[in-house]
């Protein structure tokens, strides 16, 4: 069950057995502001939440974010379904599954921030698949004016257990959003996973093309779909040769050039037309850096490696500084 009495808005009418939900008023959500940044987040609820997929962590699902009249988060996809794997916006985080390879058909495995899921067949895990949820775990949400604390607790019969907390915080007096994480292993099995942030940003509704650039503090190289033709690495940045067409995308499984320390977790996404940008940093090194973009959003995906023995707690932080170039 979810402790959201203080922040829930009116619920949904659910039509028949289909997965489409029709809102009476809106999805359960909450507003945050520090007087500089304004943002709205969707709340994690089993039947009424905006995001009900089994890919991304349910906490910290963003609806919008604005700074100095610039918008940074909007719906980037055309068709919406609450159980669609990527029907989520802004900074969206996914943990690699626990126990999937060991599970037999019909057995369960765990996705942190989602719950205990059931393996339907003897096939490799795919993030685009919706998996039956056997146990949603327990969500607790505490809201303040400038931050929200999301806590997810789960104990699975397979031996995995955790207490995961994500705090979405707006820093006082600064144009900065911080995601603070804590993961405590409360189970019998060690937790070995990776977590990445997909960063579904849209800056001032600019389409993916020459108006958007991705910058790093080091020279970068990348190979993959569209690299070298549609998107081009140039020294310390990615630039686009043209706008991406509808349903077109570019992808690389491994951007090269960063080092093994946290100082290289340093990425900027800039709208060259409006001057608005996002500076993304972390207190952890990157395990790897994936990059994906479609016609509406450009997404660096930095991975962090996490390991926690039973009883151990690990913490990490990701910061987003919003700015205007030259100001």
Question: 236-269, pLDDT tens digit by residue?
Answer: 999 999 999 999 999 999 999 999 999 999 999 9
Q: Each residue of 59-107: pLDDT tens digit?
A: 999 999 999 999 999 999 999 999 999 999 999 999 999 999 999 999 9
Q: What is the pLDDT of residue 26?
A: 79
The rounded distance, in Å, linking the Cα atoms of 212 and 277 is: 10
Whether the pLDDT of residue 14 is over 70: the answer is no
Q: What is the pLDDT of residue 84?
A: 97
Q: Are 295 and 43 in contact (CB under 8 A)?
A: no
Mean pLDDT, rounded, for 189-215: 98
- Domain ranges in the chain are 1-93+138-327
The rounded distance, in Å, linking the Cα atoms of 327 and 325 is: 6
Report CA 9 to chain centroid distance, whole Å.
Answer: 23
Whether the pLDDT of residue 7 is over 80: the answer is no
Q: 127 is written with which tokens?
A: 């993030």
Domain 1-93+138-327 has CATH 3.40.50.1100: no
Mean pLDDT, rounded, for 221-236: 97
Q: How long is the chain?
A: 327
Q: Are 65 and 319 in contact (CB under 8 A)?
A: no
Report CA 101 to chain centroid distance, whole Å.
Answer: 24
Binning pLDDT at 50, 70 and 90, where does residue 133 land? Answer: very high
Please give the mean pLDDT across all residues of the chain: 92
The rounded distance, in Å, linking the Cα atoms of 163 and 143 is: 18
Q: 72 is written with which tokens?
A: 């940074």
Q: Is this model's pTM higher than 0.75 or not?
A: yes
Q: What is the pLDDT of residue 327?
A: 67
Query: Which residue carries 């080091």 as its tokens?
Result: 218
Whether the pLDDT of residue 307 is over 80: the answer is yes
Whether the pLDDT of residue 138 is over 90: the answer is yes
The rounded distance, in Å, linking the Cα atoms of 42 and 190 is: 31
Mean pLDDT, rounded, for 192-207: 98
Binning pLDDT at 50, 70 and 90, where does residue 216 land? Answer: very high
Q: Is 264 helix (H, G, I), strand (E, B) or coil?
A: helix
DSSP 208: S
Closest by Cα among 293, 114, 288, 281 to 200: 293
Q: Is 262 helix (H, G, I), strand (E, B) or coil?
A: helix
Spell out the residues 6+ positions from residue 215 whose beta carbon is closer than 8 angstroms to its own.
236, 237, 267, 268, 269, 270
Q: Each residue of 270-282: pLDDT tens digit?
A: 999 999 999 999 9
The percentage of the chain sitting over the pLDDT mark of 90, rounded to a whole number, equals 90
Mean pLDDT, rounded, for 290-298: 98
The rounded distance, in Å, linking the Cα atoms of 20 and 90 is: 22
The count of other CB atoms within 10 Å of the CB of residue 265 is 20
The percentage of the chain sitting over the pLDDT mark of 70, rounded to a whole number, equals 92
Q: What is the pLDDT of residue 326?
A: 76
């Amino acid at each position: 069950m979810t402790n959201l009495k203080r922040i829930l808005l009116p619920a949904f009418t659910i039509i028949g057995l289909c997965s489409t939900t029709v809102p009476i008023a809106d999805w359960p959500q909450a507003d945050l502001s520090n007087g500089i940044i304004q943002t709205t987040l969707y709340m994690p609820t089993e039947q009424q939440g905006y995001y009900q997929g089994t890919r991304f962590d349910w906490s910290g699902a963003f609806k919008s974010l604005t700074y100095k009249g610039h918008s940074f988060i909007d719906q980037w996809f055309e068709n919406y379904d609450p159980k669609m794997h990527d029907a989520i916006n802004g900074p969206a985080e996914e943990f690699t599954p626990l126990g999937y390879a060991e599970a037999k058909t019909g057995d369960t495995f765990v996705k942190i921030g989602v719950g205990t899921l059931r393996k339907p067949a003897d096939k490799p895990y795919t993030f685009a698949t919706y998996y039956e949820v056997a146990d949603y775990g327990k969500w607790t949400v505490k809201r303040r004016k400038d931050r929200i604390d999301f806590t997810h607790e789960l104990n699975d019969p397979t031996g995995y257990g955790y207490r995961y907390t994500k705090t979405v915080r707006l820093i006082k007096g600064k144009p900065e959003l911080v995601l603070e994480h804590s993961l405590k292993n409360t189970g019998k099995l060690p937790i070995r996973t990776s977590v990445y942030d997909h960063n579904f940003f849209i800056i001032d509704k600019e389409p993916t093309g020459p108006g958007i650039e991705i910058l790093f503090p080091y020279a970068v190289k990348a190979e993959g779909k569209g690299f070298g033709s549609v998107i081009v690495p140039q020294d310390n940045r990615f630039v686009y040769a043209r706008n991406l067409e509808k349903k077109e995308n570019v992808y690389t499984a491994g951007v090269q050039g960063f080092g093994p320390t946290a100082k290289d977790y340093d990425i900027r996404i800039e709208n060259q037309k409006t001057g608005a940008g996002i500076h993304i940093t972390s207190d952890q090194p990157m395990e790897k850096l994936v990059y994906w973009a479609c016609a509406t959003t450009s997404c660096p995906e930095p991975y962090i490696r996490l390991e926690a023995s039973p009883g151990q707690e690990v913490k990490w932080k990701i910061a987003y500084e919003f700015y205007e170039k030259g100001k």
